[in-house]
Structure 1
Amino acid sequence: MTLEIRSEQPADIAAISAVTTAAFKTAPHSSGTEARIIEGLRAAGALTLSLVAVDQDEIIGHAAFSPISIADVQEDWYGLGPVSISLEHQGQGIGQLLIRAGLERLRSLQAAGCVVLGDPRYYQRFGFVSDPALTYGGDPSPYFQRLILNGPPAAGDVSYHSAFEA
């Protein structure tokens, strides 16, 4: 495998949608709207980072990062997700490479931090932790986690872009 992680290009859009749809098709936590979320973020200019994993000119993975608001204030924090890997390439560390590359790019943008809603056992490897001072939907959850990239921890309720309501 000759893997390249890079920013999406216009020619990648259909493949990103196909990989995302297939990756979430049977996932128990899926809303079935993940590809539409990415499209909505892109259309609104709110897709801060859209990274693809490419193997021999084939898109096999994607990770999205978009701005979030905390307590209705934009504080230079971002949300990670959706992240998708083609079915035949799952479990090979490609998601980790995409996430690490995205977090490094957020650091270079001087982002304050990043949040994710997901399995703590997976996301702790990147430094994400649950923080009861930072909530989603008004309630603390061990599945809602944050990673401080620059500055102090944030506190309050997090709101994602309206594209997540797709």
Structure 2
Amino acid sequence: MTVELRHHRDLTPETRQDLLEVYADVRAPLLHLPNYRVDAFAERLDRHATEPGFELVLGYDGQTPTGYAYGNTIEASDRYWKRMTEPLPDGLTDTPVLVIKEIGVRTPWRGTGTARRIHDDLLAGRTEDRVTLMVNPLAGDGKVQAVYEAWGYQAFNAQQPSPDSPRLTAMIRRR
């Protein structure tokens, strides 16, 4: 499987549709939960696409979208930091940080290194020193968090982004 990676800083209707298609497939087992519904994700996506430093990497195998990762730059005043459950370590928010808002890969491409390629490609052109993301510690019976740990992320806090969301582990690493 050869996956071509495409970068997007603007969310065109075609790109948005491809991303929603992959999201619906990746999150299919969770779509019955309010926070995971496609329309709820689409609302978040539309908001995220207008935030500073937005960037999306979509993978394609031929014409088939296979996976994605996207994020944006956050500063000290961003609500991302304000929703943490524990006080932040001194200096953590002194410089801009890339927050990965979503990452997902369709089942046929899992275990092929596609997720890591998409992730690394998203980080490659960034100027932020650090990158953070959230993970449901129960996802894949803890396997998803273990993958992020293998990629160099360390848990440092937690948050529950919305009342319908599970409690998530906040992880961070140097870019």
**TM-score of the superposition, structure 2-length normalised?**
0.66
The percent identity for this pair of structures is 11
Does the C-alpha gap of structure 1 residues 68 and 45 become closer, same or farther in structure 2, counting only changes over 3 Å?
closer
CA drift of 1:74 comes to 7.5
- Which position in structure 2 is the counterpart of 1:39? 46
CA drift of 1:89 comes to 2.8
- Which position in structure 2 is the counterpart of 1:148? 174
- Kindly report which structure 2 residues correspond to 1:71-150, keeping only aligned pairs within 5 A, or say none: 72=78, 75-106=95-126, 110-118=127-135, 119-131=144-156, 136=159, 143-149=169-175
CA drift of 1:30 comes to 8.1
Residue 62 of structure 1 aligns to which amino acid in structure 2? Answer: Y
Does the C-alpha gap of structure 1 residues 82 and 58 become closer, same or farther in structure 2, counting only changes over 3 Å?
same
- Which position in structure 2 is the counterpart of 1:3? 3
Residue 130 of structure 2 aligns to which amino acid in structure 1? Answer: G
- Which position in structure 1 is the counterpart of 2:83? none
Number of residues of Structure 1 aligned to a counterpart in Structure 2: 140
Q: Secondary structure at the match of 1:114?
A: strand
Q: Secondary structure at the match of 1:131?
A: strand
Does the C-alpha gap of structure 1 residues 67 and 91 become closer, same or farther in structure 2, counting only changes over 3 Å?
same
CA drift of 1:47 comes to 5.7
Does the C-alpha gap of structure 1 residues 90 and 30 become closer, same or farther in structure 2, counting only changes over 3 Å?
farther
Asked whether the 8 Å contact 2:69–2:119 carries over to 1, the reply is yes
CA drift of 1:125 comes to 2.1
Residue 103 of structure 2 aligns to which amino acid in structure 1? Answer: V
- Which position in structure 2 is the counterpart of 1:65? 71
Q: Secondary structure at the match of 2:146?
A: helix
Alignment counterpart, residue 23 of structure 1, candidates 26, 34, 39 = 26
- Which position in structure 2 is the counterpart of 1:159? none
CA drift of 1:71 comes to 5.6
